[in-house]
Amino acid sequence: MYRFLLTRQWIILTLVAIVLIPTMIRLGIWQMDRYHERDARNQLVTDALNAKPVPVEELASPDHTVTSKERYRSVTAKGHYDTDDEVVVRRRVNSNEEVGFHVLTPFVLDDGRVLLVNRGWIPAPGAQTSYPEVPAPPRGETTVTGRLMPNETTEASGIKDLKDLPDRQIMLINSKEQAERLGRTVLGGYVAQTAPEPKGGTPELVGAPGKEDSALNYAYAIQWWLFAAAVPVGWVVLVRRELRERRRKEEAAADEAEAPASVG
């Protein structure tokens, strides 16, 4: 009764099932790994945002590379803004996905070193070829609080670092490049300002980082494993249905053979 399993159709079906099971199991494992990675990153973000603010000098220094554990850490800095060397960062969006600029202002610390401060988002005045009107920051000595961020790269951001831009416009925030432009000692990375609140609400402060949807990867992992479990179950169901169909046909053929011939 099981000889039909040796037919070409059933051999192909069985081979496909054999290939699908480990493939789906592996996809489930991959999704679970993604879940753990995203969950770990979410925890790093949560820990950083909840940590007590520390002076920026405790974490950043010239040529320092901001690590994943330091990213989003709340830091404070005392000094004054240098708007003469202020630049804007092109093609940035606000909370409403409107395209504009981020305002990057050098912040001169009490020891003379420079901290790059992203003061927030402003709208573009139409074509992004001219320098926009930028609201002035507080004058004199002030204390800034913000989230420590690493230098931006094309690989991490997906933003192409275009050259030959209009005066005082950049594409990516990079402390090494800004140190060369300014001719001064600049701390590694930059700070996304969170306080003080700007007057009139502009520049619009950069929002807190969102969390990755790790639960979705967990659901996908379970889904792939359910699919893997369903393949052998489905194969057995098909085999049993084929057996029933073949038995029904054999019984029908036997009944027909045993039926008495009609008398004329």
Tens digits of per-residue pLDDT, 4-32? 888 888 899 999 999 999 999 999 999 99
User: Average pLDDT of 209-235?
Assistant: 91
Quick one: pLDDT at residue 137? 95
Quick one: pLDDT at residue 102? 97
**Torsion angle of the four alpha carbons 68, 214, 40, 94, in this order, in degrees rounded to the nearest 10:** 30
pLDDT of residue 83 exceeding 80, the answer is: yes
The highest-confidence range among 38-52, 117-131, 140-154, by mean pLDDT, is 140-154
Dihedral angle sign, alpha carbons of residues 69, 73, 79, 85:
positive
Beta strand extents in the chain (DSSP E only): 54-55, 74-81, 87-93, 99-109, 114-123, 142-149, 169-170, 190-195
Quick one: pLDDT at residue 254? 75
